[in-house]
A and B are shown apart, each in its own frame.
Chain A
């Protein structure tokens, strides 16, 4: 058994990390290894059974072959130059990473996480952060889930950057199904990562566990919106334990999905109050001209200013405040929306886009 095979084999038993390798001698036979692990209480009796069964079936060899055929490459603890260095320092580094797509450099990786059930505002901000980070040359890491994760990936892809999704399923499984197209796009310019063997389906306990990889891969973690009991809060806690910078986007205090992220600020996370400033702060390139001044007509400027003053306005209120008639206003709103300068905060109300 070579090093890769060993790692893949051990990884077939869910819950093991690279820490087990210290109990393992590569020259031993699988039975001997299992015995030692069992003796050191590193694996449960059931885990030991499973490892024995996998070894008998030669599962690891088949798994490696399957991955090769599918164009998925495997990075084990022993692949020195490939294994992300930052990931080695975490408490439970994964034995193997399955990677589909283009291998990306995680030296300048930033994670953007948040709730799946985000508000239009959170979606907007996540996409903006994703796009700003990738324009500054950073890699955007997230979990490929609905809501904030998807927005962050989407934002990065929109401005032509690289992005990686760390999945709680096998890399060959598309979950959630509506992210089919998004995953395709990620593959073209980034990678899908997972520590789970091929074909592993999504289960509730797998997602929190993969969060340690999201936290571990990145230089800092940005939480956009998260309720108090959210997966993003687990990621943030892990990131803090690993000594990563944690940023949180302030949200409304009467919104349940912002309670967790707001709490993080109270607990010492840096509030992300301006995306341009934030990117300046983390970027090595100094001042970046991220937001070119816009060429807007007078009326458009008036509408935009009106919305910047106060958000969540209906068309009637904008009309009242700017004195622009209905038909003309419909057109202006539509144009501003197409240019992503304003967005609907749900229920036919409008806000100016954050920047």
Chain B
């Protein structure tokens, strides 16, 4: 009978089933939990006993709770509820009708608190075909998972009453992911001037290209990087679920709309915080930004080892975290936005402030702009700091709103989707070298033009691929079937040369 009560434990973003068995025999009082529980699970003894006493279910004697499989480490407080149910059943207070999954943390007065991992649990319940009893506080997330039979549990009392058929628990109603996009602040209409950066960010959003913004302090790099979120295409159903899953695994609430995630990382962040890990192998920022934007402000301040650690997840689109406790794979397909000052003091090229860097300092600073991260950047943009006079001058010009830009971006993405089967890449930034050379429809003039330019500008093979990828996106934005020489010419404007002169 006890095997009918299932709990879950999390491994990364995956929920694993845990059978909860219990036995009460006469003897001196003792309460032991076996089956590799962590501290949080072991402490559940106190919570469970107090919550049960609140319902006038007192337990005496020798109590043993077994969490099977016995060799799988169990973590978290979400096993409180199944343990309490198992004990209540053992005492004959109620009997479960069929196998089900229970999850939730108990308060001493019997309330059920929300836990992290509700979405992975719902997915597990769906794949096993079992009903899920989840805390009321997690119902909103669970509702977003299609095809799961879930009930929301406000208190332990309600749950036990329902198991005795004395009360009905409310069934979690399937809820479509929100389809509308809320307004993102700042809007691109708030950005004065910055034509180049606006256009480059539009291209970045359309082709999922990584982008580097270089500019003096106060030029608006951070503002525009934040505004990028508002012009990205909305998450598709599948993508929405992917982000929901990761958020749930770290205990973040379900997103309120279909905006892609935007995660900003400070340069003092630890490698574990960014790549994932810790004793419970949680996902890091690079996974939380999955399908969205990972923004590294003051990119040159980041430690070398952090940058090295980010190389693999950016390259592969997933990250495998290996720890003694096990290994977990998290997705990490992000659009990387880097921002940096043009030099160590920050004022190189500024109209009002003088740069005070020496030649060596400039050279040392420039050397930071190479390496694994920059190799993955397709768009390099200088962001000028406008003088107050120029800002006034530009104040009146009408500016495009984010929503309008997004419409174009969405259409460009649709064109890439149509090609997906043929070229084997969801977006232009992922086009392979082979496909770039053959399958993206570069016109003859464009080819000739590019060959000429490659020679004159001494473009490397990598540089050439960058230009082709960006040119393809420019053509997609314009709605052209072929990449013409005009698109190539514009793409050449986002090369790395020029940004750091």
Q: Which residues from chain A sit less than 8 Å from chain B, CB to CB?
A: 115-117, 120, 123, 146-147, 176, 178, 254-256, 312, 314-317, 319-320, 326-327, 329-331, 333-335, 337-338, 343-349
Contacts and interface: CB of A to CB of B under 8 A. Distances in A.
A314 B193 contact: yes
A117 B359 contact: yes
B359 A327 contact: no
A182 B444 CA distance: 34
Given A338-B492, A343-B501, 5 more contacts: A146-B363, A314-B386, A331-B486, A337-B492, A347-B351
B216 A347 contact: yes
Contacts of A123: 501
Given A178-B363, A256-B354, A346-B349, A334 B199 contact: no
Nearest to B382: A348
A72 to B, nearest CB: 27
Nearest to A115: B359
15 contacts: A120-B349, A123-B501, A314-B195, A314-B386, A315-B195, A316-B193, A316-B397, A317-B394, A335-B492, A344-B498, A347-B215, A347-B342, A348-B382, A348-B383, A348-B384
B490 A327 contact: yes
Contacts, number: 107
B390 interface: yes
Contact of B342 (A330, A335, A346): A346
Contacts of A347: 215-216, 219, 342, 348-351, 382-385
A335 to B, nearest CB: 5
Interface in B393-434: 393-394, 397
Contacts of B384: 314, 347-349
Q: Which of A115, A315, A334, A346 has the most CB of B within 10 A?
A: A346
Contact of B199 (A330, A344, A346): A330
Contact of A317 (B199, B216, B390, B457): B390
B199 A327 contact: yes
B456 A338 contact: yes
B244 interface: no
B357 A316 contact: no
Interface string B362-383: 1100000000000000000111
Interface of B: 193-199, 215-216, 219, 342, 348-351, 354, 357-359, 362-363, 381-386, 390, 393-394, 397, 453, 456-457, 478, 486, 489-493, 498-499, 501
A349 B358 CA distance: 22
Contact of A334 (B215, B393, B493): B493
- The 10 lowest CB-CB distance pairs between A and B, nearest first, are A346-B349, A334-B493, A347-B349, A348-B382, A116-B359, A348-B384, A117-B359, A315-B195, A316-B193, A331-B490
A344 B457 CA distance: 15
Contacts of A331: 486, 489-490, 493
Given A314-B390, A347-B342, A326 B383 contact: no
A30 B381 CA distance: 64
Nearest to B477: A327
A227 to B, nearest CB: 11
A185 to B, nearest CB: 12
Given A123-B501, A344-B382, A319 B195 contact: yes
B492 A334 contact: yes
A312 B351 CA distance: 8
Nearest to A345: B349
Nearest to B351: A312
A9 B481 CA distance: 73
Contact of A320 (B194, B196, B397, B490): B397
A301 B486 CA distance: 17
A255 B352 CA distance: 11
Contacts of B499: 344
A87 B280 CA distance: 75
Contacts of B194: 314, 316
Contact of A329 (B195, B363, B457, B491): B195
A330 B358 CA distance: 32
Contacts of B199: 326-327, 330
Contacts of A146: 359, 363
A327 B195 CA distance: 9
Nearest to A332: B489
Nearest to A315: B195
A66 to B, nearest CB: 30
B501 A330 contact: no
A326 B195 contact: yes
A337 B390 contact: no
B501 to A, nearest CB: 5
A123 B453 CA distance: 22
Given A312-B351, A327-B490, A349-B384, A337 B196 contact: no
A158 to B, nearest CB: 10
Contacts of B215: 347-348
A338 B453 contact: yes
Contacts of A346: 342, 348-350, 382, 501
